Amino acid sequence: MPRFLKVLLIILAVILIIVLIIGVIATRGMKDIKNYRVSDISPGDIRDGVYQGECTIGRWQTTVSVTVKNHMITGIETLKSMDDPERILTDLIIRKIIDEQTLNIDTVSGASISTKAYVIAVYNALEKGR
């Protein structure tokens, strides 16, 4: 086998290994988030206050602060989000949760895992106010 072909095969093998490693890292925790059961919480069951919650599963690291006033979710602030530096997704999710006063929202197309991670963080915050 010519030396050029050997070098080419080694380079392709290294690239394949790198792609596989990146794939494993990028999807770590997806199944856990997908299977995480979030029961809906009625804001009427939550004491007024500000509560912090987080979701730290796999590569999804989201921390939020949820404000409840008069037994209604009145504000959600993103304290930390690895997935949405421009806050486009989180702003949409915040609007849905506040407008509908429920965690049982439709996921954002193409970002269902990130939406679920955000909902988990809000759920964990609201659990503290029960």
Mean per-residue pLDDT of the chain:
90
Q: What is the pLDDT of residue 42?
A: 85
14 in any annotated domain: no
Three-class DSSP category at 98: helix
Cβ(127)–Cβ(41) under 8 Å?
A: yes
How far is 52 from 128, CA to CA, in rounded Å?
Answer: 8
Flag whether pLDDT at 84 surpasses 80.
Answer: no
Q: Which amino acid is at 116?
A: K
Q: pLDDT tens, 12-57?
A: 999 999 999 998 888 888 899 999 999 888 888 899 999 999 999 9
Q: Higher-confidence residue: 33 or 107?
A: 33
Asked whether residue 5 is assigned to any structural domain, the reply reads no
Q: What is the mean pLDDT of residues 52-76?
A: 94
Q: Give the predicted TM-score (pTM) of the model.
A: 0.83
Q: Is 17 a domain residue?
A: no
**19: in domain:** no
Quote the domain boundaries for residue 114.
31-127
Confidence of residue 85 (pLDDT cuts 50, 70, 90): low
CATH number at residue 64: 3.90.1010.20
Number of domains the chain is built from: 1
Share of the chain above pLDDT 90, in %: 62
Per-residue pLDDT at 43: 82
User: Is residue 98 in some structural domain?
Assistant: yes
Per DSSP, 32 falls in state H
* Residue 36 maps to a domain: yes
In-domain check, residue 79: yes
Which two three-digit tokens encode residue 43? 């804001």
Q: How many CB atoms lie within 10 A of CB 111?
A: 17
16 in any annotated domain: no
